[in-house]
Structure 1
C-alpha cells in the first residue's frame, strides 16, 4: 500500500468554454491521478507573455500515489486529450488546457523534464491568488515564504477578477449542489436509463413519468385540428399533477431529485400540434 502525497496544481484555459473545460479537467484529474481534495475559485487574468484571449485559472490540491514523474505523464496525457498541442518552441500561445505542478510535498526537483516548485510561480499572480485560496500557509521550500507572503511581494500588476461560477472537486459535490435535474430528449434516447443511473450513483430521488391512457388520444388521431387543444391540456394537467405531487414529497435522505421528463415537454408538443 503506497503513501499518499500532496500535490498542488495550477490549471488554466483561454480557448472555448473555459469554465467547463476546467471543470471537466478536474474530474479527469480525480479519475486518473488521485483524489482532488480542494479547488480554488476561478480567476480571469490576461494572457501571459503573448497576445491572446484572457485565461480562466484555478488551483487544486491533489492527494496522489503517483511519483512526480508519473503525475506529470498523467497530466500531459489529459492536456492532449483536451486538444492541447505542445510545440518544441518555448513561445507562449493560447491553449485549451494547461496543467502545471506547483508543489509536490516539500520536494525540490530539477530535471530535464520537470522542475518543482514551479520556477516562475512567485512571478505570477494568476498562480498565487488561487493558490492562496486553498493553501495560504504552505511554505515554499526554497524561498521559505508562505503563499500569502509570496502574493504580497509579487510584482505582477495584472488585473485578476474572481468569477462567480464555482468549480467542484468531484461529481458527487457537483450533484449535491443541485436541487432538481430533468433529463429530456426524444423517445428512446435513454432518458429513463440515464436518470436511473444518476439516482443510483449520486443518491438522488428518482421521478419517472407516469403514463396513463388519455381519453382524447383516439379522437386526436381521427381529427387533429379539433382535438389537439383538449389533448394537450389533458397531458399538461396530468404532468403538472404528477410533478407537483412528486416534488412536494421531500426525501431527507436524498441529496436532490432527478427526473426523466420535464413540464416543458408540453410546450414542445403544443408547438407541433396547435396553431399559433
Structure 2
C-alpha cells in the first residue's frame, strides 16, 4: 500500500529527478507529470544572456506550469494509484528569486501569488540532494548544449533557495530530503530500491526528514 497519493520529486539541475519519476511511475502504474522545460523557447537564450532573458523565461515557465498542472488535474485517471511529478509549482518562485532583479521579482511574485493559492498541495514533497560536483558531472554527461553555461555558483544559489523554501513551508506538507550523492539509482537496482522504499512505502511524521545513503 502506498503511503501518499500526490508525490512531488524535485531537486537541483542534473540530479536525476525526471529519471526517477519515470521509473517509479512505470513500475507502479502512476500518473506521471513531467515538466515540459524543453518547450520553453527562451531557455537557451537565458543561459547565454541571463540578465536579458530572465523575466521572459520565468514568465514562460509560470504560464506553462499552470496550464500543464490544471490540465493534468482535470484528467486524473481513477485507476492509477498515485500521481508523481518532477516539479512543484513553488519551483517557479525558487528559480525566479535567483534570476530576476528585485523590481522584476516583485512584479513576478504578484502573478505567482494569484495562481499559487489555487493550486493543490502535495501529500509528500521529496527533494533529491547531491553535491555540486556530482551535479556538474551529470550536466556535462547528458550533453544539453544550453546547460553547459551553468556555473557551480548558480547551482549553489538554487540549492540555497530550496533550503530557504523548506524553512518557510515546513508546516505545509511533509518534506523528505534524500541525499543521493553516493547513489546510482539508474544502473544499480539496490540503490533504486532504497529510494523506492523511502518515497512510496514509508510514512513521515516530522515536518522535515533527511535521509543519507
TM range (shorter): 0.3 to 0.5
| Structure that is richer in strand per residue | 1
Q: TM-score w.r.t. structure 1 length?
A: 0.33
Q: Which has the higher contact order (CA 8 A, sep 6+)?
A: 2
| Structure that is richer in helix per residue | 2
